[in-house]
Amino acid sequence: MDSTFTRRGFLHGTASAATGLSLTAQLPATAQPLQPVVVSSANGLRATQKAMDLMHKGADTLAAVVAGVNIVEDDPNDNSVGYGGLPNEDGEVELDASVMHGPTKRAGAVAALRNIKNPSQVAKLVMERTDHLLLSGEGALRFALAHGFKKENLLTDASRMVWLRWKETLSTRDDWGPGLSILEDDELAQTPEQQQLLDRIIANRPTGTINCLALNERGDISGTTTTSGLAFKIPGRIGDSPLIGCGLFVDNAVGAAGSTGRGEECIKINGAHTVVEMMRRGASPTAACLEAVKRVADNYNGNLKKLSQFNIHFYALNKKGEYGAAALFGYVGPNRKRSQYAVHNGRENKLLDSAYLYEAPLKPTS
């Protein structure tokens, strides 16, 4: 392991969280009303605000978080979920989502859903209207259509252009490329700034996803995770987002957790369930998230060369209204973007820095 990249981020993150290890996750029967809290991934500031507004009006926690993430699912400028999400390798947008309702201990999910931009709503209907938990592919689409959802083309022009550029960079020995001449009105022609953005997306395939968790004043907890998945994935690939215990887990007596990032790595450790179980044993939300990240790293024996190929992020809140998040890498991308998450604590809505295991991934060699 390169000694330049140590686990000082882990030690830094756990120093402030260590005191939480002695905390119990149960809410005493005589406790006063809690301060509502909504936690989300960094792309969820609008979601946390919407969910909190609805809870202040008396909305159920699950209805609140689903309404929150719908804002992001509907946004064509967010290429990580819903409408405008980056497609699979065939140019088709496939969406995954799950929901969990703490008070009733119920869940629902959909996977590889096409042509429906709000998979979180469909997942909620699976929970409410069936005795199943997960519907996928064509079956999920037929279920959505039966409940009044409309088929839509989810591939925006911007996402389509990114997909086409990706295809053109796959090989110099196939027929995909700029051709023998470039016309001035080529629809794929980009400014230097746009081309740099395309290059960054192609070099570091986005994994998408928004996770949102909420606790109300009565101590009821719900959560949802929704995604367009790994950009340019093999059709039919399913990540952690629709898998209960992986991309989302809620236990109304303990807390909730969710994940974004490389779904395969989360699946291997049952990430969200692992975080909640750590909180059940007394860990603070931050310490619990760091433990899950550490288990991901341990699967590669801490090999930074391999770990640098992806990132993963866990989010959590417990029954007391405490919250936290942790990432594999604290700073990512060419501009060393800080790993953050969104929190509305009932008073203000803001981004907070996540704890992390490693400061930054190894720089790619050329």
pLDDT per position as a tens digit, 24-77: 344 444 457 899 999 999 999 999 999 999 999 999 999 999 999 999 999 999
Q: Please state, in angstroms and rounded to a whole number, the distance separating the CA atoms of residues 257 and 28.
A: 21
Strands 221-227 and 210-215: antiparallel
Greater pLDDT, 31 or 247 = 247
61 in catalytic set: no
**What are the sequence ranges of the domains in the chain?**
8-154+203-358
The pLDDT of residue 21 is 38
Q: Which residue has the higher pLDDT, 77 or 203?
A: 77
- pLDDT top residue among 182 and 233: 233
Q: What is the mean pLDDT of residues 227-245?
A: 96
Residue-level pLDDT at 205 = 66
Q: What pLDDT score was predicted for residue 244?
A: 98
CA 206/CA 166 separation, integer angstroms:
12
Q: How far is CA 278 from the centre of its chain?
A: 20
Considering the entire predicted model, what is its pTM? 0.86
**99-113, 226-240, 328-342 — which is least confidently predicted?**
328-342
Question: In the predicted model, is pLDDT for residue 254 greater than 60?
Answer: yes
The CATH code of the domain at 8-154+203-358 is: 3.60.20.30
What's the pLDDT at 184?
A: 45
Catalytic residue among 61, 207, 209, 227: 209
**Given the structure tokens 């995954």, which residue do they identify?**
96
Of 77-91, 139-153, 274-288, where does mean pLDDT reach its minimum?
77-91
User: In which element (H, E) is residue 358 found?
Assistant: strand 355-358
Instruction: Report, as an integer, the average pLDDT of 221-228.
Output: 98
pLDDT at 266: 98
Task: Return phi, psi of residue 38, to 5°.
Answer: -130, 130
More confident site: 53 or 208: 53
**13: buried, middle or exposed (CB in 10 Å: 19+, 13-18, 0-12)?**
buried
Sheet containing 248-251: which strands, arranged edge to edge? 248-251, 255-261, 312-318, 323-329, 355-358
- Mean pLDDT of the 79-89 span: 93
